[in-house]
Amino acid sequence: MKTATLLIACDDKPGLVSSFAQFIAANGGNILDADQHTEHETNQFFMRLVFDTAGFALDEPACRSALVRLSSNIPNMRWQLFMGGNLPRVALMCSKTAHCVYDLLVRHAMGELPGEVALVISNHDDLRQVADHFGIPFTHVPVDKDNKQAAEDQHEALLAEHGIDLIVLARYMQVVGPGFCQRWAGRCINIHHSFLPAFVGAKPYHQAFERGVKIIGATAHYVTAELDQGPIIEQDIAHVGHHASVKELTRLGRDVERQVLARAVRWHLERRIIIHNNRTVVFV
């Protein structure tokens, strides 16, 4: 079955659900999944529509034109249309730590992720054999304090060359530049190894140990120029007792990190997420 997904955000007013549903139906699409949310605090309307395009009268350009016309009457309407059935293409960026990379590549190999992992980029060469094992191209782009711009240029060239739609920072231990963040806004997911906003910055498990918390967490968020401050997609936690050393916290944390990151990546690839005011609406 070929499907398309339409994500909509706009100011709320009466008749919106009907308008959007009618737009699909009038053109012969069959809605398979509809989810809608109104945030009363901000008078914002959010909707996700998945529809069968078997009998749909519009091709992608025609549908985009029609949506432009439709949106002209609806205040502050932003929309995203995903049509045509090409799988989104994903790049993983990593350093030396293997668990998130393995996790995503195993899920990819088992058909869990509705995307094509097309590239692995790392500032170290350690995980080359992991990418090789799964048959994914690997490029080593060393980064040091003197070549940051050159490295970023090489990243952009690689991402362009491979037609990448989504970047996943799978424990990539370098801060990415503000320009890069802006260009990839809403298309670059990071996993932070704490329950944000607690323990922003470096060594969160050491911070957690020092504070004596009874829970550790992980947070997947879209990357923004301000470190660890981007829109949160998913969070989860593990309970920890007094037995847990920093090493143990790190081990327990790995399980949370990979679960949280995998969920966030899948939801993005399934077009379930709308960003609004540094927060996310996630239709699950």
> Minimum distance between the CB of residue 185 and its own copies, rounded to whole angstroms?
16
**In this complex, which beta carbon is closest to its own copies, that of residue 88 or of residue 231?**
231
Name the strands in the sheet holding 116-122, side by side, starting at the edge strand that comes first in the sequence.
Answer: 138-140, 116-122, 89-94, 166-169, 188-192, 215-222, 232-239
Between 93 and 232, whose beta carbon lies closer to its own copies? 232
Query: How near is the Cβ of 109 to its own copies at its closest, in Å?
Result: 7
Tokens of 64: 């985009």
The minimum distance between CB 182 and its own copies, in angstroms, equals: 20
Max CA distance (Å), the chain: 62
Give me Rg for the CA atoms of the chain. Answer: 20
Distance between the two ends of the chain, CA-based, in angstroms? 21
Q: How many CB atoms lie within 10 A of CB 210?
A: 11
Asked if 228 is an active-site residue, the reply is yes
Which is nearest to 210 in space by CA: 199, 219, 196?
199
Q: Which is nearer to its own copies, 47 or 164 (CB)?
A: 47
Cα–Cα distance for residue pair 59/246, rounded to 1 Å: 55
Compare residues 104 and 166 and give the one whose CB is closer to its own copies: 104
Least Å distance between CB 96 and its own copies? 11
Instruction: State in angstroms the smallest separation of the CB of 159 from its own copies.
Output: 27
Q: Which of 125, 228, 236, 255 is catalytic?
A: 228
β-strand partners of 45: 10, 38
- Coil/strand/helix, residue 37: strand
Residues annotated as catalytic are: 228
